[in-house]
Structure 1
């Protein structure tokens, strides 16, 4: 006798299909990446790895990633015509697939983005985990692990004693709770990058204070993505 399904078995993200992994998650990876960049890109090199490399055209992941780079939400009907909207927005992009990256999650995407208007560039690697859930696992060569489902701070600061505790104290005094923190550096006494997920929005005053610390080089703030 076949098992009965219930409405609870079918609940997932509100999205344009066919698959939460191949569309909703892909859109969210791109929307996270453009917030790290700080603007909509003018150029994008998009690399699909492993199972994505074999299925991104047939499952609509190519349209989904372009829609995300244009900041369309997961339930936006324009996803189906994303290529036409990209042309109108003068977004130049290329796709490539690598099907045998054994060290990477099956549904991995790398986005190398550039905004020629500002000169900004970013290199983001994200994973689509199913159900629209994502993890951003690398930014500009710095390992990280954040979902973009919470408010996220990305802080570049000198690798000095007490810097992590000081920043955590500033966040606490703004009545924000730290959910996760990941700190990465490329060498001792080199610039370290902190990825901090917080449960609530940080105030403009706290952000400006962090930006004006002499040993802080850059602060990027990414509000939670729906």
Structure 2
């Protein structure tokens, strides 16, 4: 069973999402919040597997709430799926940096939404590599890439290899093939590098790889 927390300041949307989740096998609605502040407090109390997070809310925004929830999570952090009516690159990029695991518009179908909840609960990133690449390159292309940031100095050579390939959009299975490792070993390296860099999502790892200059615009897989 996947426990889901619904966060939206519009009561009808929030109630509709909760009702659909309750009616879907394998999903459980464990709470609802009308603001970012409520979301932070409730997430700490009910410890959901997935949070459906609105972006634009009075007070604490969905992006800020996501960042705070993931930073304060005790144990495995929840996966955050951003839901919004605004298809703007700046919001997607902010969601990536905050550690969200996915981004969907509110006009998506219920089937697509439930599939997305299941996917990110299982550890997938619901940003296609092409979208991630386009967003990050747009933000860093005008800046001169710096040297590897001090934070990356804590990584082993193999962990840096894995991070580069993650930033290129490769799956764990594809990385295993590139590096002649088992998929389990790749997952271990990825978990270790994310722990060392205090990252909570694969998306954040991609952002770090670009913003530190480990991967430069145009170097990712087409």
In the superposition, the TM-score normalised over structure 1's length comes to: 0.33
Q: Work out which structure has the larger RCO, using CA pairs closer than 8 Å and 6 or more positions apart in sequence.
A: 1
Larger Rg: 1
Structure in which a larger fraction of residues adopt helix = 2
Using structure 2 for the length normalisation, give the TM-score.
0.34
